[in-house]
Structure 1
């Protein structure tokens, strides 16, 4: 569904044309006694002002009706011309076609991520998601903001490479159910709501949870008091950027090397490390039912298992070499980009 003011203007113009035809046919049929075919002919030549004569002389009431009918159609024609001018000279037709193309593209998405809000936090989330190969649909009200960002990518390849492609955007209000549905919320795997107002994030979380009970919802909060409300509304996790930023700065004073190491993992440093997870179900079948010692990840890839989340939620830090991962377990592996890529090839199902 295309949500755009100019699209609504097209609908209004079509409605006015149909209304004009109906008024003309009813008027000529009622006042002058024309049959439907003759009434339609008279309506068309009156609206188009081609100058053909009437089928027979009009009565006084008929002339009055035609006079007001012509004035009405002058207004309709002027409105039509203004719309056509807008579409031809302002590129609105191309914009509508682009919106239709994006709408059809999103309908083919499944397992994608919906990002509500494209401010500083939203842009960072979008960057990291795309860098990790995720399909992202952005919902943003500020059309000019998205336009400026897309123009900044104008020189980049818009092919299938998700790292170079355009920002797939829906211009609209994320608190509106129809906009979430347009973004494919029922088929999405996750939703990040990073709107400026906590109340809006609560509303988005509530709406998204109702539309997709299995959706993983991550919400931004500015105030601590909003955290419980977001969880109650259906958010799986709540992130407070200001609080995280303050803690980060304090830790740079008291434990700087720990923070620098974490920066390596989060990609904030040039020589970044990568922290990857692999669930038991994603593991290659020939690697399943093997102990950590038998998996021998470090000697084969250089990466290191730093933790393991068991199916019951228990986190094992540096798990025992004799531990045998089971269904529901998730391995947490740390390494360089090359080491993690080698790990993915050797241990993850293709």
Structure 2
């Protein structure tokens, strides 16, 4: 979009210079014909316009001075008009008109969007955010400065603004005053801090979710005004470690700072197999049970007996969920002397 605007500004400047050149040529030709042919100003102007346009509506004069003026006007007139034709053709051939129309249509779509999300950065994380928002039926606008990402976004019909995400004008263009949240997920922590600062200044009450790669950046993002800070590397590392330690845990979601939601599979040999929901829940909430061969049961009754292969959906504090993970872990006996 910025490249197109720059090319259009250059084209408009060329047209202005062309218009000034034509006006100067007509004025000079009119004065010259008044002097050489003794015509009045209006008639001389009509003769000059006829010569520049090469229409041949008026007969040529036999005066040498007049003929020289006519030759000069013809050469300059044809050259000027040819320059204008080349300029217009270049704009059309380069496709800037089509790009401009596409950008204008995109901006109209963005202007008509409200209660949406603004994704700052369309890298790997940004694309995943966009896929999840699209899957949830949410509206969103992407801001990214990479033209290659714009082409990728165009293929899936994303509302895309090619600009620096930390630019005030880009966030305003994306409709930050109408947006529900800003998601800062570019690869640079410093850029995410700038995005957070800018977004918080433009919209003091908007929710801002920011990505951080370094622990030091998390504190900076919070001070900059981020509502939530997510560290993909820390989160994925913690989840990988939890799954490695507790293979029976098939899914983990942080619901809040004090609660998390997990899917735990009842495996053979675990302490919880054969017990009832009331026996194992402790301080956790058992919100669902997917039973092997018997479908899904929301909020299973306390007397429901758990069998091998059942999947428990539970929510609770880290301590209560750690207890459940241990309860459904397969017990192993290790003998150091025999290893």
> What is the SS of the residue equivalent to 1:256?
coil
Q: Which residue of 2 aligns with 1:80?
A: 88
Q: Which residue of 1 aligns with 2:294?
A: none
- The 1:80/1:242 distance shift into structure 2, 3 A limit, reads same
- 1:108-148, Cα deviation, whole Å (9 max, x unpaired): 11111111111110011111112122101111223333324
Does 1:241 find its partner at 2:245? no
What is the RMSD of the two structures over their aligned residues, measured on CA atoms? 4.1
- The 1:245/1:73 distance shift into structure 2, 3 A limit, reads same
Q: Which moved more, 1:131-140 or 1:118-127?
A: 131-140
1:210-221 pair list within 5 angstroms: 210-221=201-212
Find the aligned partners of 1:146 and 1:81 in 2 and give their Cα distance.
26
1:1-350 pair list within 5 angstroms: 4-5=4-5, 6-28=7-29, 35=41, 39=45, 42=48, 46=52, 48-50=53-55, 58=66, 71=79, 73-87=81-95, 92-151=96-155, 153=156, 166-258=157-249, 260-262=250-252, 302=298
**CA shift for structure 1 position 23:** 3.0
Query: What residue ranges of structure 1 are gaps of 5+ in the alignment?
Result: 154-165, 266-271, 274-296, 309-314, 319-350
Partners of 2:60 and 2:67 within 8 A in 1: no
Find the aligned partners of 2:108 and 2:43 in 1 and give their Cα distance.
41
> What is the SS of the residue equivalent to 2:86?
helix
Q: Which moved more, 1:105-114 or 1:233-242?
A: 233-242
- The 1:76/1:65 distance shift into structure 2, 3 A limit, reads same
**CA shift for structure 1 position 182:** 1.3
- 1:77-128, Cα deviation, whole Å (9 max, x unpaired): 32222222233xxxx4433322211111111111111111111100111111
- 1:161-202, Cα deviation, whole Å (9 max, x unpaired): xxxxx2121222222222221111121111112112222222
> What is the SS of the residue equivalent to 1:261?
strand
- 1:53-92, Cα deviation, whole Å (9 max, x unpaired): 69976597897687556545544432222222233xxxx4
TM-score normalised by structure 1 residue count: 0.60
Find the aligned partners of 1:67 and 1:181 in 2 and give their Cα distance.
50
Query: What residue ranges of structure 2 are gaps of 5+ in the alignment?
Result: 35-39, 256-261, 264-286, 289-296, 301-312, 321-339
Q: Which moved more, 1:72-81 or 1:243-252?
A: 72-81
- The 1:51/1:183 distance shift into structure 2, 3 A limit, reads farther
Please tell me whether Structure 1 or Structure 2 has the larger radius of gyration of its CA atoms.
Answer: 2
**CA shift for structure 1 position 226:** 2.0
Find the aligned partners of 1:218 and 1:54 in 2 and give their Cα distance.
77
Aligned residues: 262
Find the aligned partners of 1:231 and 1:2 in 2 and give their Cα distance.
32
Partners of 1:114 and 1:185 within 8 A in 2: yes
Partners of 1:13 and 1:80 within 8 A in 2: no
Find the aligned partners of 1:41 and 1:241 in 2 and give their Cα distance.
75
